[in-house]
Amino acid sequence: MATIHVDGRAYEVVGSHNLLQACLSLGLDVPYFCWHPAMGSVGACRQCAVKQYKDEDDTQGMLVMSCMAPVEEAMRVSIDDEEAYEFRRSVIEWLMANHPHDCPVCEEGGHCHLQDMTVMTGHARRRYRFRKRTHRNQDLGPFIAHEMNRCITCYRCVRFYRDYAGGEDLGAFGSNDNVYFGRYREGALESAFSGNLTEVCPTGVFTDRTHSDHYVRKWDLQFAPSICHQCAVGCNTSPGERYGDIRRIENRYHGEVNGYFLCDRGRFGHGYVNRDDRPRRPEWRNVGEASATPLEVDAALDRGADALRRARRIIGIGSPRASLESNHQLRELVGEANFSSGVVAAEQACLSRMARLARESGLPAPSLREVEAHDAILVLGEDPLQSAARLGLALRRAVLARGEVLAEARDIPAWNAEAVMTLAQGARHPLFIAYPAATGLDSLAEHHLALAEENIARLGFAVAHAIDDRAPAVDDLDESTREAARRIAEALLDAQRPLVVSGGSLASPAILDAAGNIARALAGRRRRGGLTLVRREANSTGVELLGGHPLEWALDELSRGAADALVVLENDLYQRLPRAPVDRALEASALVVVLDHQRTPTWQRAHLGLPAASFAEASGTLVSLEGRAQRFFAVHEPRYHRPESRIHSSWRWLHALEATLEHRQASDVGLETVIRACADRHPALAAIIDAAPGNDYRIEGLELARAPHRYSGRTAMRAHLDVSEPRPPSDADTPFVFSMEGYSGSDRPRSLVAFAWAPGWNSPQAWNKFTDEVGGHLRGGDPGVRVLEPGSRERSHERSHGRSHERSSESGYATEVPAAFAARDGEWRVVILPRLFGGEETSSLSAAIAARAGASTLTLAADDARRLGVTEGDSLSLETADTRRNLPLRVDPLLPPGLVAVPAGVDPALASGDSARLALPDSMGVETP
Amino acid sequence: MTATRYHSRLHQTARERHADTHPLTWRLHEDGTRVDLEDYTAKDGYAAVRQVLGRQSPEDVIETMKSANLRGRGGGGFSAGVKWSLTLKGEDLPRGYLVCNADEMEPGTFKDRVLLEQLPHLLIEGMILAAYANDSAFGYIFLRVEYVTAARALTRALEEARAAGWLGDDIAGSGFDFDIVLHTGAGRYICGEETALLNSLEGRRANPRTKPPFPGQSGAWGKPTVVNNVETLCNVPAALRHGAEWYQGLSGNLSDDGGTKLYGMSGRVARPGLWELPIGTRGESLFELAGGMRDGLRLKAWQPGGSSTGFLMPEHLDLALDYDTIGEAGSRLGTGLMTVVAEGQSLVTLVRNMEGFFARESCGWCTPCRDGLPWVEKLLRALEVGEGKPGDIELLQELASGLGPSKTFCAHAPGASMPLVSAIQYFRDEFEAGIARPDGA
């Protein structure tokens, strides 16, 4: 800490900060552009000038850029000094020289950092009277709109896109007052993090194109604290709604998880909640009929309950994309013995191993902020930029943090971004990746080992053995893998904080056993280290903690007539298993009830369809891959703008259905009650009650506002439905109100922040007003609570599946080392690889994501392609036991021979084949290798 | 013929140039042809390398250079010896680089060019010595792209030196290894700024870097790096061959600075060109050597060393042309190549042309320079054509103050503001004449 004097007042600040960080952390307003809390200082914009004095007697002082001035003990500075104030006003005037006068039609208006800073600096009159410089804009794809004329050349975009996130297709071109930020030619931005440009850009150069289609000013949006449902990372988001549609998603700052940045699937993948074809009313479909009849709620519950009452046995299929509350409520409805997690057996075996490793391996699962503090990383069988993109970005930061270590040794502060980069010259902490195909992190890796899954596992087992020889050795390991294992073990042991990243993407329990062995071995040798295990879906971790049978079990029970009714929760079974067994099970069920917010193929087979709320309309709890239980809150009440809507949270439907079934009349239930019941039923989930403040939480006696206090048009926006304005819908489930009439300030610490706003700070930069120090933690605490920790409570019951196959030695090491993969003539191993765009069910239903998903391909090793005489672009036919697909060929020089890689989201039936056949298109005659 | 045209810029004949008074130019041929290795070694060339490498410690070399008081000839005027002493070296550090700034782009400046084209071995010898003092692993010459003749001369000289063992491993049996690569720039004025030069050398955008860290701490590719101007490095062999006292004595009692300086004159003087003179020579003497103004013109103003130095008036000609004296008069010595302005030449047009150059050559990194200079240029253009508005001069002064030191990222804009501020100071009426009268007359 250090004491500094700002305008005559003494403050305690962090000694390693620069002056701008220090001032902002104190809550003092200093305007800035090029500095960013996550990206440090470069001193380009000159906006943050303040006066610095040598000592008490110095009355002259000199201007310094606060972002480039290290905090010094007893430093004396002035923000209010007239020369400094005038200079800052001048900087804005220069920036504004070429900036268009288009605020009224600019989509940044109302959440524009440049607007905020212009007001803050007092520049109000334009003296520049000459012609403005203009640029042409580019089409940057479905996510980002480009308006270069608004650019103030702060360089943040390229510093984020290239330096921070590793993108290569956005650059700075030209010089002097004609610098252009764009691509070398038009085309979709390739980075998975391009959406952050909309928040990183201090003005309206890069704006959200999906928002543009139905644009609303920030102050007219209704927000709620939400959790991204598009993968298991658990990024905090701030979705904004107007007229019943989600208009856009912004990052919601979380000091431990996503910080300031989201991936593009999370930001742009929400379009499915706005689809016109969403089910909004209960539907009844008679057996054998294609069309369905809409029902009222009571009628739907009565018919559903009647039919369930007639059933001999009801099976419930839960969902890893639904909340804990909804899954719990389904489990209550059907009973533990009849509940399936909705996850296929292979994935469930991985999930159960992951939960066990999280408790028993000895290494904790780090938050993303903690991930960034690890200094040697082994990625075993994951492609994090595809399967958990925000984690991939954190891994990149961790590897490049080596530069800051080097810089510190030369007295270059970590915030001096360009100087750190110059000194570091791309220096990296060691990163090793074992994965069958190329990954987006390869360019940072010391070594990428392109291996088939058994060989990845064998490598992992060998690494563990090299760290601790009590861990089982691997027989017949080839020399290069043995050497790689030795090098990896050495790097992990050399590190202060080694990190092992693995997960279920390749659906290989052996890989997880290997990762677990490495974690155990490291835990015995290092005090600090981490084990990050990637799960696929938003609540995969949570559903595993609830327990339940695998999906195949549920289908078997129905198909063989052991049960005759089925309730499916927010789960499209056709996305998980081949068509035939799903069809069989559904046909065998006398009653199929489906709750979902999408008209999925499974919904189309339902007798009773109940329209479920998506994250936009529901509140609930998810558990992220870190083991963090986090609450998401309904953004809006769907009936307000669509009175015909009968959408309700699945947990509410299921409770009502159960009540109707048991008491022959519906009754309502509150979120609090469901959370409490879930926590009581599942000791492992006891802490979820504390994941967020309850519905009685108040600040200064007030509920929390979902809408900014400038929210306009409330009395008019429903006038086409009814000229008298109804009361805003009430929300008994949460401390939020569906209006602006509640607390929305930043002066009282809180963890529940629907949208970031502070007086004078309308842009996302307002988050600085909510944090303990810039880039730190929310003053009210970062949201969520950890439910899965080393040594945390084991589930109260043992599951019949998964556990029994696992063998382990006395020291806890897994002992089943798989045999090496051997390519066999005529038989191909299909590996399904996760992909960011198009590999996830709900986001794929969003137009922008679908547009970026690109064509599905089939990937072969270069040698195999040569042997088959096929080249990139050729159409090949892939046949497994359950399906046959024609796909265009891509060649990956890294892929091991004998493998066929297919991206996720093409056809679940492809996953079933270990002996797939590959054929040239029929016209060329079938030929198998 | 080409050579003759260039060499004619150095006005001193072979008889006027001596080893003990003209350490930079005494070896030059009268006809301007390149001094090759044979000729150079015959004229005591590489003797300093033999004398120093392996025989004096790098620390002693740096001490000698500090007492010689050789100040940076690129225009900054920072002591070369002090710069070297601040450059990190040590066993736990990577060996760094020696970079010769040969990106001579200052308008009105052509001194390094003569040395590069005609006496490349002097530069190479200076670089070897500097590298030895700083334990540099490798040398780069960052050459202005238009200097094609110099590139040819350097390429030949580097080959000759390498073949003769002056470059490469174990130079002159000293155990010291060093080699030099010639790198030609791509035509950006800002690359003359040493840190922008380093970024450009690394293949990055030619934006200056923040200081600290200085290149001596983290320079090219993040390694300790010495960046010196051509003329500075060309002074090193004689200073080390003959010692600090001798070198300091070259300027006699004219200046506290040591050594000689390549001074020059351009503009409407009778004999524009170059002279090697003791540093601290008075402006008047140089003006006389150039034969005064040509064609009966009268001197109106002058810049001491390039477009980025402030205008001085005829009465300032009796000042010593050294860093401190010119600085005290409100300008900078800069490169020491004087540009004269004749009566009848418009200061508004002249400054407008300069500011247009500086605006164009701004790298675009910091706001005042990137967006302020084009505004300055546009205001000057308005004044030039009589479309100025009341308040424009004050606005120009306000803009110029925003372009001052510490307000901008590097020295480019402060340099650009000097001619503007001084021109308004001395010739305000010319600017006022460009303000349109309200009645339209």
User: Which tens digit of pLDDT belongs to each residue from B15-67?
Assistant: 999 999 999 999 999 989 999 999 999 999 999 999 999 999 999 999 999 99
Selected residues 122-181 of chain B with any CB under 8 Å from a CB in chain A = none
B312's tokens? 């001085």
CB contact under 8 A, B359 and A177: yes
pLDDT at B5: 47
Q: What is the DSSP letter of A168?
A: -
* Interchain proximity A153–B370, CB inside 8 Å: yes
pLDDT in tens, A445-468: 999 999 999 999 999 999 999 999
Residue to test with chain B: of A125, A150, A176, most B Cβ within 10 A: A176
CB proximity B90 to A under 8 Å: no
**β A171-173/A49-53 pair status:** unpaired
Question: What is residue A294's three-state secondary structure?
Answer: strand
Tokens at A185, concatenated: 């030619």
pLDDT at A797 over 60: no
Which chain A residues are closer than 8 Å to B368 by Cβ? 46, 90-91, 94
pLDDT of residue A810: 65
pLDDT at B3: 41
Which of A94, A117, A133, A154 has the highest number of chain B CBs within 10 A, making it the mutation to test binding with B? Answer: A94
User: Considering the domain A347-541, what is its CATH architecture?
Assistant: 3-Layer(aba) Sandwich (3.40)
Predicted local confidence at residue A919, as pLDDT: 81
pLDDT band at A926 (very low <50, low <70, confident <90, very high): very low
**Residue ranges covered by each domain of chain A:** 2-97, 296-345+542-699+722-736, 347-541, 829-924
- The closest CB to that of A422, out of B205, B218, B367, belongs to B218
* CATH hierarchy code of domain B2-249: 3.40.50.11540
Query: Order of strands across the sheet with B299-303?
Result: B273-278, B260-266, B337-342, B299-303
Give dist(CA A324, CA B435) in Å, integer. 75
Interfacial A residues in 381-410 facing B (CB < 8 Å): 410
Whether the predicted pLDDT of A35 surpasses 90: yes
Q: How far apart are CA A78 and CA A481, in angstroms?
A: 61
> In the structure encoding, which two tokens stand for residue A758, read together?
């502070």
Residue carrying structure tokens 């073949």: B163
Cβ distance A710 to A671 under 8 Å? no
Asked if A419 reaches chain B (Cβ–Cβ under 8 Å), the answer is: yes
Cβ contacts below 8 Å, chain A against chain B, sum to 109
A130 contacts B375? CB cut-off 8 A: yes
pLDDT tens digits, residue range A371-389? 999 999 999 999 999 999 9
DSSP per position, B6-28: HHTTB---GGG--TTT-TTTTT-
| H-type alpha helices, A816-861 | 847-853
- pLDDT tens digits, A709-760: 999 998 899 999 999 888 899 999 999 999 999 999 999 999 999 999 999 9
Give the largest CA-CA distance in chain A. Answer: 92
A179 and chain B in contact, CB less than 8 A: yes
pLDDT score recorded for residue B7: 42
Q: State whether residue B398 sits within 8 Å of chain A by CB.
A: yes
Tell whether B394 lies on the interface with A, counting CB pairs under 8 A: no
Number of C-beta neighbours around residue A673 at 10 A: 14
Flag whether residue B371 sits within 8 Å of chain A, measured between CB atoms.
yes
Residues of B in contact with A152 (CB under 8 A): 367
Tell me the backbone φ, ψ of residue A824, rounded to 5 degrees. Answer: -120, 140
> How does pLDDT run across B167-225, given as a tens digit for each residue?
999 999 999 999 999 999 999 999 999 999 999 999 999 999 999 999 999 999 999 99
Chain B contacts of A77, Cβ < 8 Å?
A: none
Q: What pLDDT is attached to residue B8?
A: 47
d(CA B337, CA A154) in angstroms, rounded, equals: 36
Decide: residue A55, CB within 10 A, 0-12 exposed, 13-18 middle, 19+ buried.
Answer: exposed
Which residue in chain A is spatially nearest to B188 when comparing CA positions? Answer: A175
Question: Is there a contact between B375 and A423 if contact means CB atoms under 8 Å apart?
Answer: no
- How close does chain B come to A806, measured CA to CA in Å? 51
Chain B residues with CB inside 8 Å of A98's CB? 371
Q: Note whether B221 contacts A175, CB cutoff 8 Å.
A: no
Fold of B347-432: de novo design (two linked rop proteins) (1.20.1440)
Rg for chain A (alpha carbons), in Å? 28
pLDDT at A809 over 80: no
Q: Which residue among B365, B389, B402 sits closest to A44, beta carbon to beta carbon?
A: B365
Q: Which of B213, B361, B378 sits opposite A419 (nearest CB)?
A: B213
pLDDT digits (tens, 9 = 90+) for A124-164: 999 999 999 999 999 999 999 999 999 999 999 999 999 99
Average pLDDT over every residue of B92-112: 95
- DSSP single-letter state for residue A910: G
Instruction: Give residues 409 to 428 of B whose Cβ lies within 8 Å of A.
Output: 409
B398 → chain A, closest CA residue: A90
Average pLDDT over residues A252-279: 98
> Within A388-478, where are the H helices?
389-400, 402-409, 417-424, 453-467
ipTM of the complex: 0.95
Cα–Cα distances (Å) from B195 to A202, A424, B130, in that order, read 28, 16, 19
What residues in A contact B374, CB-CB < 8 Å? 97, 133, 176-177
Q: What is the pTM of this model?
A: 0.96
Taking the CA of residue A397 and the nearest CA in chain B, the distance in Å comes to 20
CB-based contact B209 A422, cutoff 8 Å = yes
Chain A residues whose CB is inside 8 A of the B378 CB are 130
Chain A residues near residue B402 by CB distance under 8 angstroms? 87, 90-91, 94
User: Rounded distance, CA A195 to CA A267, Å?
Assistant: 7
pLDDT score at B440: 55
| Residue B439: pLDDT band with limits 50, 70, 90 | low
Measured between beta carbons, which residues in chain A are less than 8 angstroms from residue B356?
A: none
Task: Chain A: give the shortest CA distance to residue B219, in Å.
Answer: 8
Chain B within 8 Å of A47 (Cβ-Cβ)? yes
* Closest approach of A94 to chain B, Cα-based (Å): 5
Per-residue pLDDT for A925 more than 50? no
Q: What is the pLDDT of residue A414?
A: 96
CATH 3.40.50.740 fits A296-345+542-699+722-736, yes or no: yes
Distance, in Å, from the CA atom of A885 to the CA atom of B428, rounded to the nearest integer, reads: 82
Residue A854 region, left (φ>0) first, then alpha (ψ -120 to 50), else beta? Answer: left
Architecture of domain A2-97: Roll (3.10)
Domain boundaries, chain B: 2-249, 260-342, 347-432
Residue A42 with chain B: CB contacts under 8 Å: 210
Mind telling me how many Å the CA of A75 is from chain B's nearest CA?
Answer: 18
A134: closest CA of chain B, how far (Å): 13
Alpha helix stretches (DSSP H) within B9-90? 37-42, 47-52, 58-68, 80-85
Select the CATH number that applies to the domain covering B260-342 from these four: 3.10.20.600, 1.10.10.60, 3.20.20.140, 3.30.930.10: 3.10.20.600
Mutate to test the interface with B, among A117, A155, A422 (most CBs of B within 10 A): A422
A172 contacts chain B (CB < 8 A): yes
Check B364 against A176: CB less than 8 A apart: yes
Whether B399 shows a pLDDT value over 60: the answer reads: yes
Q: In the CATH scheme, what is the code of domain A829-924?
A: 2.40.40.20
Q: Which of A805-814, A816-825, B136-145, B256-265 has the lowest mean pLDDT?
A: A805-814
A913 confidence band (pLDDT: 50, 70, 90)? low
Mean pLDDT within A497-507:
97
Say if the Cβ atoms of A410 and B217 lie within 8 Å. Answer: yes
Signed CA dihedral, A342, A347, A349, A351: sign only: negative
CB contact under 8 A, A410 and B367: no
CB distance from A358 to chain B under 8 Å? no
Mark yes or no for CB contact B209/A47 under 8 Å.
no
Query: Residue with structure tokens 């990577």?
Result: B94
Question: Is A62 an 8 Å CB contact of chain B?
Answer: yes
At A790, the pLDDT band (50, 70, 90 cuts) reads confident
List beta partners, residue A530: A499
- Report whether pLDDT(A798) > 70: no
The whole-number average pLDDT for the span A818-847 is: 93
Q: Does A344 touch chain B (CB under 8 A)?
A: no
Query: CA nearest A173 in B: which residue?
Result: B205
**Interface membership of A508 toward B (CB under 8 Å):** no
In the predicted structure, residue A912 carries a pLDDT above the cut 70: no
Interface test with A, best of B210, B225, B384, B392 (most A CBs within 10 A): B210
Sheet with A49-53: list strands edge to edge: A9-13, A2-6, A75-78, A49-53, A62-65
The pLDDT score that the predictor gives to residue A927 is 45
- Scored b (16 or more CB within 10 A) or e, A466-499 reads bbbebbbebeebeeebeebbebbbebbeebebbb
The span from the CA of A177 to the CA of B364, in Å, is 6
The per-residue pLDDT of chain A, averaged, comes to: 94
